[in-house]
Structure 1
C-alpha cells in the first residue's frame, strides 16, 4: 500500500469509528480484569478468613483455591470475548473500510 491509501484510511469516518469502538471495548475489558484482581487482593488483605475457610468441614480445599482459579479463568474468558468481537464486528468494519478506500 502507498501513503495515499494510508491517508484515506486515516481520514475515513468508519476507521475513526473502528478505532474508537475497539479502544472503548479494550478499556472496558481491562477495567473488568483490574476490578477482579483488585477485589481479590482486597479480599486477601481485609478478609483472609474467607479465603482460608474450608469449602466443607471434611475438605482440605479452601475457598481461596476456586476463587483463584476463577480469577485465572476470567482472564481467558475475557480474552475469548475480545477475540470473538474482534473476529466479528471489528473485522467486518475493517473489510468495509479497505473496500471503500481501494
Structure 2
C-alpha cells in the first residue's frame, strides 16, 4: 500500500470513527473483566470462609465463581468479536471504499 493511501485512510472520518469506537469498546470490556477478576481475587483474599462454604453439600462456592471468571472472559471476547464482525467491519469497508474512490478520481485526473 502506498504512503498516500495510508494517509488517506488515516484521515478518513469513517476510519477515525472506527478507531474511536474500537478503543471505547476495548476499554469498557477491559474494565468489566478487571472488575470481575479483581473482585474474585479480593474475595479469595478477604473472604476465604465464603469460598470454602458449600452450597450443595459437595461443591464449594469457589469452584463456580472461578469457572464464572473464565466463562466471563469468553463471553466478553464473544461480545467484542460480534460487534467487530458487524459494526466495525462495516465501517472498515466504507472507509476503504471511500479511499478507493478518492484514489481513482486522483488517477483519472492525473491522466
Describe the SS at the equivalent of 1:93.
Answer: helix
Structure showing greater radius of gyration is 2
Q: Quote the offset at 1:21 in angstroms.
A: 0.5
Distance 2:90 2:14 in 1: 11
Size of the aligned set, in residue pairs, is 100
Return the TM-score normalized by structure 1: 0.95
Report the equivalent of 1:2. 2
- Unaligned 5+ segments in structure 1 are none
Structure 1 stretches of 4+ moved >4 Å? none
Describe the SS at the equivalent of 1:36.
Answer: helix
- Unaligned 5+ segments in structure 2 are 101-111
Return the TM-score normalized by structure 2: 0.87
Report the equivalent of 2:75. 77
